[in-house]
Structure 1
Amino acid sequence: MLQSLRFYGRVARLLAVIGLGVLLALWVGLRERAGAGDLMVSRQRLTRWFLARLTGALPFRVRVSGRVPEQPMLWVGNHVSWTDIPLLGAVAPLSFLSKSEVRAWPVAGWLAHKAGTLFIRRGSGDSGLVGQQLARHLGHGRHLLIFPEGTTSDGSHLKTFHSRLLTSAVETGVPVQPVAIRYLRDGQRDEIAPFIGEDDLLSHLVRLLRSDLAEVEIQLLEPIPSQGLSRTMLSQKAKSAVQQALFGEVRDEALAA
C-alpha cells in the first residue's frame, strides 16, 4: 500500500514538472515567433532550471564532485541512460547532442527540441553538418554536452569514444570537460537505471518510479586543452580520464576515427 502511494505520488510530481516544462517551451516558442532573436542563452538557463526540477522528481540522490567550468567547453561523458541528460543538465547550462529517435518521443522529444538539442541520425552521413553546428555553438561561447559512445551501456564498461564527435573542439580550440556518471544501488552498480537493449521510455520510467532511491555520482574531471591535439588524441585522453574515474584503470583500445 505504501509503495503504491509512493509510486503515484512520484507520478503526480513528475507530471506536474512536465506540465511546467510544456509551459516554458510554449513561452520560448511564442518569443521565437515574435522575433526575439537568438534565444539560446535563455533556452540554456531555462533548460537548466527545468532539468533541476525534473531531476528532483526522479528517485535519485545525486552527488556532484569537481568544479563547474566558467568558460565554454565541450562536455564529454559516458552514457548509461536517458536520465544522464536531466542529471547533467541540472549541473550547468548546457546544449545537447542526441540521437534522432529522441525527437520522436512523445512530449520529451518536443521539449528537447525546444531546449535547443541537436539531433543526429546514426549512420546517415550527416555528422559533418552536425559538426558545423557544434562548432558554431562552441564558437558562440556556449557549453555543449555529447556522449561520444553514441549509445548507452549498462555502466559496467566504456564503449568506443567516436573521435569525430570531438572535431568541433579541435576546430574551435575549446577545451574538453570530461564527465563520469555512475549509478549505484546498495553500493553496487544499479541495474535499473541503465536504458539499454529494447527498453522503451515509458516502461523504463515506470520501473524507475517504482524503485527505491538510487545513488548517482557525477564527477567533473580535469579539463583537457584541445590545442595541438588531433581529435583522436583528444578522444583518447577524454576516455582515459573517464575510465580512470569510474574503474580506476586505463585500457588501450582502438578508437574510431
Structure 2
Amino acid sequence: MSGWQDVPPPRQRIGPLGWFRVAWRGGLIGLATYGGLLVLLLVRLVEWPLYGQARPVTPRITQGVCRFVLRALGLPLVVQGRPMAAPGAIVANHAGWLDIFVLNAVQQVYFVAKAEVAAWPGIGWLARATGTVFIARKGVEAKRQQQVFEVRLHAGHRLLFFPEGTSTDAIRVLPFKSTLFQAFFEPALVRSMHIQPVTVILHAPEGADRRHYGWWGDMDFASHLLQVLATPRQGKVEVIFHPEVPVDAFENRKVLAQHCERVIRTAHVRAVE
C-alpha cells in the first residue's frame, strides 16, 4: 500500500521476560488453535453427512477457540450491541490478523477472503477448515462467486467481509469498495438479505504506538506476532454491532457501501480520538 502511513512503528527489542511471554502465550495459543482444528475436523466428519452445508456444531468450536486465544493473549474484549438475527452478512473494518480472532469470538461467522489466503502457510489451512469463502479478483469469476454466496447464505451461513480490501494501521478506516455488495442485489437475495456494519477498535497498550496492533503493507506476520505475544500489558479491543439494514432499502451497491462505511468510520473516529 502507498499514500498513507506507510512506515510501520519501530519494533521493540524483546527481552528475557518478553521471550517467556512469547513461549507461554504462543504455546497455549498454538495448542488451542491446532488442537481445536483437530476436534473440528473430527466433528465435521459426522456433521457433514448429517447436515451438509448447515454446520450447526463446528462454528461453536471455532468461536470457543478464538475466545480462548484472546484470554491467552490477555487482550480484554468489550462488546456493544448484538449480532443480528436476520439472514444476511456482516461488514467490518480491518486492522490485521487479530480481527479474525476477535470477530470469530463474538459471533459465529464465515469469512470472505481473497483467493491468495488459501495458499498461505498454516493460515490457509485453518481458513479452509473453518469454512472461509475464497474469492478471486478476476471479473470472469463473478458469476461463480455469486452462486457460492447464494448457496452459503441460503444454508444459513453468516458471511463476513472487509470492504476496505486490505488491512490497515488500526487508527483509520479506508474507503470501502462496493464490489462484494453487488452479490446481495441479485434477485434471489435482495428481498431477504440484511447487512450489519460492525466496528472493530484496537486500542494500543498504554504508552505504545497507537498502531501497535495494525498489520499492513509489507509487514511480515511472524515478527508482528512476536511483538504482540511479547507485549507485557495488552490494550483492549472494542466491537460495536450497529443496527442491521435491509439490502432492498438501498438504491444500489454503492449507496449501501457508503452507508456502512459512514456508520463504521463514525464510531471508529469517536473511539480513537
TM-score category of the 2 structures, normalised to the smaller one:
0.7 to 0.9
Q: Once structures 1 and 2 are overlaid, which stretch shifts more, 225-234 or 99-108?
A: 99-108
Match in the other structure for 1:244: 266
* Structure-2-length-normalised TM-score: 0.82
Instruction: Choose which of 198, 204, 211 in structure 2 pairs with 1:191.
Output: 211
Determine if contact 2:181/2:256 at 8 Å carries over to the other structure.
Answer: yes
Determine if contact 1:43/1:116 at 8 Å carries over to the other structure.
Answer: no
Determine if contact 1:29/1:114 at 8 Å carries over to the other structure.
Answer: no
Secondary structure of 2:260's counterpart equals helix
Q: Once structures 1 and 2 are overlaid, which stretch shifts more, 38-47 or 64-73?
A: 38-47
Contiguous gaps of at least 5 residues in structure 2? 1-15
Distance 1:154 1:177 in 2: 23
Seen in structure 2, the aligned counterparts of structure 1 residues 100 and 203 have a Cα distance that, compared at 3 Å, is farther
Equivalent residue pairs, number? 248
Identity %: 30
Q: CA RMSD in A?
A: 2.4
Instruction: Choose which of 196, 199, 204 in structure 2 pairs with 1:180.
Output: 199
Shift of 1:100: 2.1
Distance 1:160 1:98 in 2: 18
Secondary structure of 1:219's counterpart equals strand
Determine if contact 2:171/2:211 at 8 Å carries over to the other structure.
Answer: no
Q: Once structures 1 and 2 are overlaid, which stretch shifts more, 176-185 or 45-54?
A: 45-54
Shift of 1:138: 2.0
Distance 1:90 1:160 in 2: 26
Q: Deviations over 1:68-117 (max 9, x none)?
A: 22223310011110111110111111111012222122222112101110
Distance 1:162 1:205 in 2: 28
Q: Does 1:154 align with 2:169?
A: yes
Seen in structure 2, the aligned counterparts of structure 1 residues 156 and 4 have a Cα distance that, compared at 3 Å, is closer
Distance 2:262 2:128 in 1: 31
Contiguous gaps of at least 5 residues in structure 1? 249-257
Shift of 1:189: 6.8
Distance 1:153 1:84 in 2: 11
* Structure-1-length-normalised TM-score: 0.86
